[in-house]
Structure 1
Amino acid sequence: MANNKSAAKRILINKRNRLQNRFYKSSVRTLIKIFKENLETYKISKNPIDKKNAQILLNKIYSLMDKGAKKRVFHKNNAARKKSKLAALLKAN
């Protein structure tokens, strides 16, 4: 338990930051899984609407990753690497 006011405050701040980090990381992982499923659907169907849906999802992933990198949830190079890999996946199809 905290012995003084500043330690108690740090506990609250750490809890807040942990929840925020978990939100960003889990959301990005979930969106990446959905993105890959959409790419598989597009591979099979070759329907341009499926590719457009994947592009929209990729934009959402970019947005979340940029916000997470800004708040130091992700390292900026890690975010850039993941974004480039996802873009390459979309371009390859």
Structure 2
Amino acid sequence: MNKTEVIARRILGWKLNRWDRWYDSEKEVFIYDFQPEKNLEQALLIVERLKSFGYSYSVSGKHEVCFNDVCTSGDTLAQAITNAAFSLADNSTIDEGWL
């Protein structure tokens, strides 16, 4: 899985509906063109979801963010959020019950 897939599946709990769209069963909506590295609004969805799971979010510097003790940077704020979320999701044991 690539970075976007890991975040969509493990953090946001979305299912791939077709090759070009995700499905959010909580909100019962389809999400097209999910690219959180390029879209700050989409990256902020990740922040809100992780906050709902009890993670703290902080910004330090222009493009560096932390979720608890997992900190990363990027060329943009959206990219930094995506990188940190991916590090958290890809390198941590994620309890499937939280999705």
Same fold? TM cut 0.5: no
Report which of the two has the higher share of strand: 2
TM-score by length of 1: 0.29
> Which structure is larger by alpha-carbon Rg, 1 or 2?
1
Relative to total residues, which structure has the larger helix share, 1 or 2?
1
Normalised by the length of structure 2, the TM-score is 0.28
